[in-house]
Structure 1
Amino acid sequence: MTKTRTHKRRAKRRAARRGGGSDQLTFTTRHRELVLEAMVAEQNGDLDHALDCLRRTPHRFGSTWAKQVAELVTLGERAEEWQWARFAVAAGQRWVGVIPSPLAAKVEREICAGAGIPLAPDSGDHPWQVAAEHIVVARAAADVLLFDELMLELFLVRVAPLLDSRGGGGRRWASTSARVYEVGDVAGIELRLRDHLTGERQVVRHLGEAVGRPPGALLYGRVLEVPGAPGAVFAGQPVVVDAAAAALLAELPDADSHHLVQRCTVLGEALRSEFRFLEAPPDYADEPAAGVRLLMDQGLDRLAAEQFATVQSLVAMYGVDPGSTPDYAFHAADALADPPVEAEVRRRLVGPSYAEVWRALAAASNGLDRERFLSLAAAEPTTPEPAT
């Protein structure tokens, strides 16, 4: 096969995988209307309608937002209060992100200045790094507005009181200060932390914050009190920082309107260390590995085949390094969120020889991920396992 024909074949696969000839997801005016409709629906507690709106926007799996809504819809009354607490904060971040206010603009401007990135990227196509950096800044700006400027209190009391009540009561959340924490060990669903400034130790529910981080890694975030055990959880994804950024953040004054610019500038400077930890999305432009190609020949698309191969590798690695179970659980859960991948796993990787692995991953997981792993542990293979 000539080089030209190879390139044509690759281009054809990439176009088929994207459903078109562009790397960019195109959002129409109607899609934006659906996003706003989903925001209002979730604030009113109508998560079924919110999920329906999100599924009508152009995402391969749906966004992280859609996955969070889908998990709560699937769990229903089995959803725990810590899940509602995290969801309430995330909904508040979405709400505050669309409010056209001078304060919101000022916060984002000063954080961008501290981070050394433009307030708005240049028009045209953007590399993944630019988009990822602006997502981090937007999340940090919403965090400042919700907690330091107490807009979370307004959101929970006036806009989404149902989310307030389902999450165990947000009265204790709004004044939660951001701290730098040192990552300790993970035991099951518990993550041990040490306050970098005071040395105080704390246990929070592990939701993947320590995955890929060495002991002693530094995280900047807010820990909420929630019902259950462990009775604490990060309000949202914490920021990974280095020692220099941690020192800057430790010197920040308490939330005070007179120090808003200073706080935002320092936070922006700290985000530079977070930027160094950003990971590029998988590049599937090259020819797939032989095992992935075989899965594609059997009916899976490229992305599902790659994800299934990931789960297959994690299951095999568990027998070699069971100490990395929290990492394996985190990545396996991410892959299994895609229905074709879960269906293939249920067809190929269940039965007595796999049950122990799935139970171990369940013990290190929360919510719907835990239920999915337990279901796989109890599942019987559709075809008899070969005799050993």
Structure 2
Amino acid sequence: MTRRTAPDLFEPGLFEGTGFYDVFAWYRANDPVSWQHPAGEAEGFWSVTRYHDVVSVHRDSTRMSSAKGMRLGSTGRAVDAVANRMLIVADPPDHTRMKRVLIQPFSNDVLSRAEDYVERVVADVVATAVTQPGPDLIRQLERIPTDVICAIMGLPRDDWEWIGRKTTEAFESPSEVRRITANGEIFKYFSDMVRENRRTGANEFISGLTAQNADGTGLTDEELVFNFSGILAGGNETTRFTLAALTLQLVEHPDQWDRILRGDVEPGVATEEALRWSVPGMHVLRTATEALTVGDVEVEPGQRVVTWIGSANRDTEVFDDPDTFDVGRAGNRHLSFGAGRHMCLGSRLARLEIAAYLRTLRGMVRAMTLEGEPRYNGSNFTWGLNELPVVLHA
């Protein structure tokens, strides 16, 4: 009997397509919690690929720490600079305190008042894409999350394009120097804005987050600056990737597009399938603070654990026929927004934007054609399409 060799999850170029899904399937079936030590990482980690194991890691905020970094490739110095001052790399009690403040602008009451604005932005973007088709639809789709989040944050209209461009550079540029530079520019932009708002109080979004809560806690200026960068990334990058992936699937699966056109599927239901399928946040890292068991593996204190959301969203133990894109999929328990304490703050806003996009497509577009080769960014962290040559036809 020939022993199967484990496929390389860190093969160069693997995430430049969709072949990694086959690799994930192998690990789920053969080695669901595997030890990995790829080149470029100073230390190894446990790689978790099954849905229920991923959920258990995300929900264990007692023995799993985010303050030591939440993604592969991070430098210790960069993590230490923002640890417990930025929501995504914070543990209780700091995480609890910051989230209580930062969730306020994304409450149901606030977002219900933003629905009309979201619909207008989406309608304008789709109408422009129909009348002025460009070589890359993503360059137009990216306006939706950028314009919406910048409006919610009360940023000057003239800055929106710059903000969108710098956010993309900070997370996606292949150049480490450009990523560091872009992050520095974003931090300085918000530092200046927070300082000015302390003087004038003109920005309601910032003022609401700096006001003292009933328990006497607020956010420091430093915490505001760090978390504004996180809000931009969550509100911009991930939604853009989902909109692009949804569009491509509707083009490649005309039967699913027909279901949308006929109104057979509610936009909210199709939105969940778009989120399951797109997986804009591919992996999450945690560090064990105590000994614990993940799957059948004993994890020691200090060891790192990486959960693969892209694998969990295709787990056959949870999803029927998971490799099929089904806009009417019922009971869609995807993990694209995470689980537990660190579930994405902007999940409701993202759902609002995606559902609005589906409604607008149904009302304004009758056909979509692929005019070239879609390309993926190749990242194993914020993964998705960065070129989508699709034309929308009225």
TM-score range, shorter chain: under 0.3
User: Higher helix proportion, which one?
Assistant: 1
Give the alignment's TM-score, normalised by structure 2: 0.25
Give the alignment's TM-score, normalised by structure 1: 0.25
- Tell me which structure has the larger Cα radius of gyration: 1
Structure with greater contact order relative to length (CA < 8 Å, sep ≥ 6): 2
